[in-house]
Amino acid sequence: MIPSSIIDDIRFRCEIENTISGYVQLRRAGRNLKGLCPFHSERTPSFTVYPENQSFYCFGCGVGGDVIHFVMRMENLDYISAVEYLADKAGIPLPSQNGEFERDTGVSRKRVLAMNVEAARYYRSCLLDERIGANGRAYFHERGLNSVIISRFGLGFAPVSGTLRHLKSLGFSETEIQAGYFCGKNERGYYDYFRGRVMFPIIDVSGNVIAFGGRVLDDSKPKYLNTSDTPAFKKSKNLFALNFAKKYCENGFILCEGYMDVIALHAAGFQNAIATLGTAITAEQARILKKYASKVIITYDSDEAGQKATARAMTLLEEAGLDAKVLKLTDAKDPDEYIKKFGADKFRQLMEGSRSKFDYLIEAVTEKYNLALDEEKIKAINEVCKAISQVYSNIERDIYIDKAAKIFGVDRKSLLGDVERLRRRAVKDDDKKRRADLIRSVSGSGDRINPDYVRQPKAAKLEEEILGMLFLHNELLHTALSGGKLTSEDFFTDLGKRLFIFFADAVENSGFSMGMLGETFTPDEVSRATRMLLNRSELPKNDEETFRIYAEQLRDEVKKAKSGLSIEDIIKQKRTQK
C-alpha cells in the first residue's frame, strides 16, 4: 500500500481545482465549482468540484473521487500510474522498487511508453536505411510527402522481422513487448505484429508516443493495423495529430477519416486537421475536442460508410456542445485526393461552404426518397421532423421548420404540429425514465456497484451514513471500536464491510486518505464512497452521539435481517434484557 502521507502530499500539491480546470471549464457556485462533466455529455452542468475536501462528483453520471481518480479516468491510467503521473508533475519522489511500484498488471505505463519511444526510433532508422526502407520511402514520396513532413510526424517503416529482436536487445521482456502490442504469440512462439508496413506514431498532447498505426504497401488486408489498448493507450480517448492541431484550432478542427488525410492537410497548411484511430468517433473524443475548440468540420469519405460515420459524428459532436459542419467533397473521395487535384486554395473555399447538420440531413433524405411518390415523401418528412424535434434551441427549430416546409411544399403549421408532438412524446419518455431511475436509486434495485443494497435497503443506507461520517471525521473510528460498538461484522453489504475494513486498517496503520481507496477498490466503488462523504458533509450533525445512534440502528437492522425478527421484536427483547 502506498503510504497515506504520500497520497496526502500529492493531493495537497496537485490542488484539485487547478488540476481539473486544465480539463474542464469551471465556474464558482458558492463554496464549490461547477462545469460540464467530461465523462458524459450534458447541457446543464452537474459536475461539481469541492475544494474544501478536495473531491469531485457528477450528479449526472455518478462519477466521483479525488484528484487521483480524476486523472485515472481522464488519462486512462491505472491507480499507481496516476499516482506516479501526479507525483512527477508535483516533483514528489516516490519510494520504489526498480524505479516504480509493483503492480498486478506486471507491465507499467512507464515501461510501455519507454518501449514506444525505442520502437519509433527503430522504425525511423529502418525507413532511412538505404536497403530496408526503400519501399517505405517510395510509398511516402508517391503520396507527395517530403522529408520535412515525414520527419515532423516521425513516420517510419516496420520491416518484415526485427522489431521483437530489437526491443529484446534493449532489455524489454517478451511479456512487455506483447503488452505494448509489438508482437503476438502463436503455437510457434512470439512474432512481430507490424510487418512490412509504413508506420505512423500516435503522440498524445503531452508529447508521449503512446501507440502506432501501420499501413500495408500493397492491396493485402487489413490495410491498416493499429495498436490495441495498452497500459499507455486507449484508442477511444486519443486522436491522431491532436498534439499539433491543438495549437492551430482557433477556427475549429478538421476531422478526417485516416492518417494520410491528416498528414496531407497539414502539408497543405491546414494544421488543425485530426483523425480518430481506426474507429468511429466516440463521445469521449468529442468531449476532448470541446476542450480546445467550439467547431468541427467533418471531412469523411463520400462513400456510404463515410456518410453513416458522418451522421454519427455530427450527433456526438453536437451532444458535446460543438458546432459540427460537413464538408461535401465533389470529384474526390477524400481530402488528400481533392488537394492533389484542385489545390489548397480550392479546399479552403470548399470549407467556407461546409454544411450544417440540418442541410446535410435534408440532402441525404431527398437523395434517399423519391419525393414524387406520396408514401416516400411522407417517410422523408417524418425523418426530418424527428431530427428537428431533437434540436435543443427554439430558434434553430423554427428556422429548420421553415426550410423543411419550403423544400417539401407543405404547410408550416403541419410540420410544427408534428415536431411538437414528437417533442412532447420525448419529454414524456424522459420523465418516465427519470422516475424509474429515481425509484431504482432510492430502493437500491439494479445497483451494480453495491448489489446487496436491494436486499436490505435500510441497513445499506445506514452503512453509507456511517461510512460517510468516518471518511469525514477519521477520529470517529475510536468511537466505533471502543467497547465494540461497531465491527465489520455489523455491516450487511459486502461493499460496506470491505470499505470499513480498509478504512480501519488504514487509520490504525499509516492513516487514511480518500485517495488510497483506488489501490483496492474499483473507480465506481470509489465514486460511491465519495458520494457517501459528500452526503454527510452537507449535514450539520456528524458528532459522536449521531454516530452512536446510527451504529446502533445498523446493528439492529442487521440483526433483524439475520434473525428474521421485526425491529419491534428486537426492541422488546432489549427492554426485557434491561
Output 13 or 440, whichever has higher pLDDT. Answer: 13
Q: How confident is the model at residue 106 (pLDDT cuts 50, 70, 90)?
A: low
Same domain for 490 and 416, yes or no, is: no
Same domain for 159 and 122, yes or no, is: yes
Same domain for 15 and 118, yes or no, is: no
Would you state the pLDDT for residue 577? 55
Asked if residues 248 and 272 have their Cβ atoms less than 8 Å apart, the reply is yes
β-partners of residue 64 are 57
Same domain for 202 and 274, yes or no, is: no
Q: What is the CATH number of the domain that holds 512?
A: 1.10.860.10
Res 144 pLDDT > 50: yes
Query: H or E stretch including 216?
Result: strand 209-216
Asked if residues 50 and 66 have their Cβ atoms less than 8 Å apart, the reply is no
Number of domains in the chain: 5
CA atoms in the 13 A half-sphere facing the CB of 393: 9
Same domain for 149 and 212, yes or no, is: yes
Would you state the pLDDT for residue 96? 54
Same domain for 251 and 207, yes or no, is: no
Would you state the pLDDT for residue 82? 87
Q: Tens digits of per-residue pLDDT, 479-502?
A: 888 766 788 889 999 999 999 999
Give the pairing type, strands 295-298 and 253-256: parallel
Which of 233, 256, 284 is at the close of a domain? Answer: 233
Query: Cell 452537507, residue?
Result: 538
Which of 176, 207, 233 is at the close of a domain? Answer: 233
Q: Tens digits of per-residue pLDDT, 238-247?
A: 999 999 999 9
Q: How many helices (H) and strands (E) would you count in the chain?
A: 25, 16
Instruction: Classify residue 97: in a domain, yes or no.
Output: no
Instruction: Classify residue 390: in a domain, yes or no.
Output: yes
Q: How confident is the model at residue 19 (pLDDT cuts 50, 70, 90)?
A: very high
Q: How confident is the model at residue 562 (pLDDT cuts 50, 70, 90)?
A: confident
Res 574 pLDDT > 60: no
Residue in 531, 467, 474 with CA at minimum distance from that of residue 61: 531
Would you state the pLDDT for residue 441? 55
Mean pLDDT of the chain: 87
- Average pLDDT (553-567) is 75
Res 143 pLDDT > 80: yes
Same domain for 417 and 468, yes or no, is: no
Total residue length of the chain? 578
Would you state the pLDDT for residue 201? 97
Res 439 pLDDT > 60: no
Instruction: Classify residue 100: in a domain, yes or no.
Output: no
- Average pLDDT (91-111) is 63
Instruction: Classify residue 34: in a domain, yes or no.
Output: yes
Q: What is the CATH number of the domain that holds 287?
A: 3.40.1360.10
Instruction: Classify residue 95: in a domain, yes or no.
Output: no
**Residues of 535-571 as b/e, b for ≥16 C-beta within 10 angstroms?**
ebbeeeebeeebbeebbebbbbbbebeeeeeeeeebe
Return the percent helix, strand and coil in the chain, to nearest 5. Answer: 55, 10, 35
Instruction: Classify residue 145: in a domain, yes or no.
Output: yes
Which residue range is the domain that position 185 belongs to? 109-233
Same domain for 456 and 569, yes or no, is: yes
Would you state the pLDDT for residue 58? 93
With a CB cutoff of 8 Å and minimum separation 6, the contacts of 558 are 456, 459, 490, 491, 492
Same domain for 342 and 401, yes or no, is: no
Q: How confident is the model at residue 97 (pLDDT cuts 50, 70, 90)?
A: very low
Query: Cell 520491416, residue?
Result: 159
Output 426 or 100, whichever has higher pLDDT. Answer: 426
Same domain for 120 and 223, yes or no, is: yes
Which of 316, 333, 353 is at the close of a domain? Answer: 353
Q: Tens digits of per-residue pLDDT, 199-240?
A: 999 999 889 999 999 999 988 888 899 998 888 888 888 999
Q: What is the CATH number of the domain that holds 34?
A: 3.90.580.10
Strand order across the 355-356 sheet: 273-275, 253-256, 295-298, 323-326, 355-356
Output 252 or 542, whichever has higher pLDDT. Answer: 252
Name which of 210-219, 349-358, 461-470 the model is least confident about.
349-358
- Average pLDDT (553-573) is 69
Q: What is the CATH number of the domain that holds 217?
A: 3.90.980.10
Same domain for 262 and 340, yes or no, is: yes
Output 99 or 284, whichever has higher pLDDT. Answer: 284
β-partners of residue 323 are 295
Distance between CA atoms of 424 and 446, rounded to whole angstroms? 28
- Average pLDDT (381-403) is 88
Instruction: Classify residue 434: in a domain, yes or no.
Output: yes
Res 137 pLDDT > 70: yes
Peptide bond into 523 cis (omega under 30): no
Instruction: Classify residue 103: in a domain, yes or no.
Output: no
- Average pLDDT (419-446) is 71
pTM across the whole model: 0.69
Would you state the pLDDT for residue 99? 41
β-partners of residue 482 are none
Same domain for 436 and 487, yes or no, is: no
Q: Tens digits of per-residue pLDDT, 528-549?
A: 999 999 999 888 888 888 998 9
